Amino acid sequence: MDKLLIQGGRPLRGEVAISGAKNAALPILCASLLTADPLELDNVPALRDIGTTLTLLQRMGVRAERGDETRVTLQADQVSSQEAPYELVKTMRASILVLGPLVARFGRARVSLPGGCAIGQRPVDQHIKGLAAMGARIRIDHGFVVAEADRLRGASILTDMVTVTGTENLMMAAALADGRTVLENAACEPEVVDLAKVLIAMGAHIEGHGTDRIVIEGVERLHGAAHRIVPDRIEAGTFLCAVAATGGDVTLRHAAPDTLGAVLDKLRDAGLEITTGPDWIRARMAGRPRATGFRTSEYPGFPTDMQAQLMALNTLAEGTAVITENIFENRYMHVQELHRMGADIEIDGHTAVVQGVEQLLGATVMATDLRASASLVIAGLAASGQTTVERIYHLDRGYERMEHKLQALGADIQRIQ
Ligand code: EPZ
């Protein structure tokens, strides 16, 4: 398994290009199932999870070709199977995003239940509840979600909690349903908005995307479209935390600062000097960060996907930060690894109290999930001495060539097999 070897203590300087958003690309790739016409995508990041999704779609018969670097063209005019097998779904929970499109277009789907992951058991009961409300006959059978429907019909659906992929699955299903669907308590994430834009370009009638009430008037069929994936706000936030932790002066290109409001606020509180333009963010840091507490919540609040990264920054800050993780029940797997580097963090249920220390010491640490791995890289970049981050396949799921991007900014970081 690959590892990252980091010699810490070097400031980051220069420019870095932010890739397309993983969590927008995943549902948008699955939206190709909704039409027999070609879907042409640009700015698709080259990530493990994207590869897994393309493999899953190709197994079903979707023709999917990667053009140059970031272009992907998909066409679902010869779909032969409506099944998502366990061996693929267990590696990526987001495979559940084929469920809504399959039932909507083909009237049937057999999708393996994703099972839990390191950060929580991650149920999909709201996806199932919504499709049942739209008339799908849906049951759990030997670890699979099995769904059938003649034609889905519009419904009013209030999810028990805000669910990002739940909103995405139901919005895609509703696009081809007969009649009007209203999604209440809908997710407002920029990735949900990006999916809505693609569906509208494909001929769907959607309003309210970006708010907690989305209204979809179903249509008979959807046609092809071309779309450029929105920039990845979590990758951008991760690099900003790295600059705040190491010091330096970095400009992020192809970024979307308007999707990062809560993150930019917190990093400014921590002492990062930030200026922004329409598609760039410049971050400068001198001196020690200030402790900055936060609570994770649904968009536009502080994103749970940035919790581990801002915690890593707080381990070095002046003062004490209180962090509360409100979205997932077990998203502190990075804490024991940060302890190995000398961090002073106390966990009490959903709350972590971080007492900043003068210096972290390089150590061998293990990645447990995608964003935990990112927080260990940030800590390693700032620590004194050498840090080895193991099991970085987790990192590769959500970050495109992170070590290359960091090397270009002056970091001493190598990937070793
Ligand atoms: C999406 O996951 C993201 N993944 C996650 O990013 C992100 O952390 C999460 O949203 C929250 O923002 C993708 O978009 C592919 P949820 P998702 O449904 O949709 C509970 C990353 O690092 N829930 O919004 O699976 C659930 O257990 C990943 O890129 C139910 O109980 O998250 C959680 O506590 C990690 N039943 C809360 O709701 C359901 O049917 C929010 O989950 C659905 C969700």
User: What is the Cα–Cα distance from 248 to 284, expressed in whole angstroms?
Assistant: 6
Distance 134 CA to ligand 1 centre (A): 22
Band the pLDDT of 330: cuts 50, 70, 90: confident
Q: Which residues of 334-372 are buried (b: 16+ CB within 10 A; e: fewer)?
A: bbebbebbbbebeeeebebebebeeebebbebbbbbbbb
User: Is the distance from CB of 297 to CB of 262 less than 8 angstroms?
Assistant: no
pLDDT digits (tens, 9 = 90+) for 388-407: 999 999 999 999 999 999 99
- Token readout for 160 is 């028990």
Instruction: Inform me whether the pLDDT recorded for 116 exceeds 70.
Output: no
371 lines ligand 1 (CB under 6 A): yes
- Measured in Å, residue 121 CA sits from the centre of ligand 1 at 10
pLDDT, one tens digit per residue, over 130-186 is: 999 999 999 999 999 999 999 999 999 999 999 999 999 999 999 999 999 999 999
Minimum-distance ligand 1 atom for the alpha carbon of 49: 15
Model confidence at 373, pLDDT cuts 50, 70, 90, reads very high
CB-ligand 1 contact for 116 (6 Å cutoff): no
Q: How confident is the model over 44-93, as pLDDT tens digits? A: 999 999 999 999 999 999 999 988 889 999 999 999 999 999 999 988 98
Ligand 1 pocket, mutate which of 121, 125, 163 (most atoms under 8 A from CB): 163
Residue of 189, 327, 368 best suited for mutating to test ligand 1, as the one with most atoms within 8 Å of CB? 327
Task: Specify the pLDDT at position 134.
Answer: 98
Provide the β-strand partners of residue 347: 352
- CB of 122 shorter than 6 A to ligand 1: yes
Nearest CA to ligand 1 atom 26: 122
**Omega before 300 cis (within 30°)?**
yes
Please report the pLDDT score of residue 38 as a whole number: 98
pTM over 0.85, yes/no: yes
> What pLDDT is recorded for position 67?
86
Distance CA 128, CA 26 (A): 19
Mutate to test the pocket of ligand 1, among 23, 95, 126 (most ligand atoms within 8 A of CB): 23
Residue 8 has pLDDT above 90, yes or no: yes
Is the Cβ atom of 161 under 6 angstroms away from ligand 1?
yes
Check if 241 is active-site: no
Q: How far is the CA of 360 from the centre of ligand 1 (A)?
A: 31
- Where does residue 77 rank: exposed (0-12), middle (13-18), buried (19+ CB within 10 A)? exposed
Ligand 1 centroid to residue 225 C-alpha, Å: 27
Whole-number Å distance, alpha carbon 393 to ligand 1 midpoint, is: 20
Distances (CA, A) of 382 to 165, 341, 352, 360: 34, 11, 21, 7
Ligand 1 atom nearest the C-alpha of 161 is: 38
Q: How many CB atoms lie within 10 A of CB 170?
A: 31
Q: Give the whole-angstrom CA distance, residue 238 versus residue 309.
A: 6
- Which residue, 75, 128, 121, 77, is CA-closest to 100? 128
The Cα–Cα gap between 149 and 100 comes to 11
pLDDT in tens, 96-108: 999 999 999 999 9
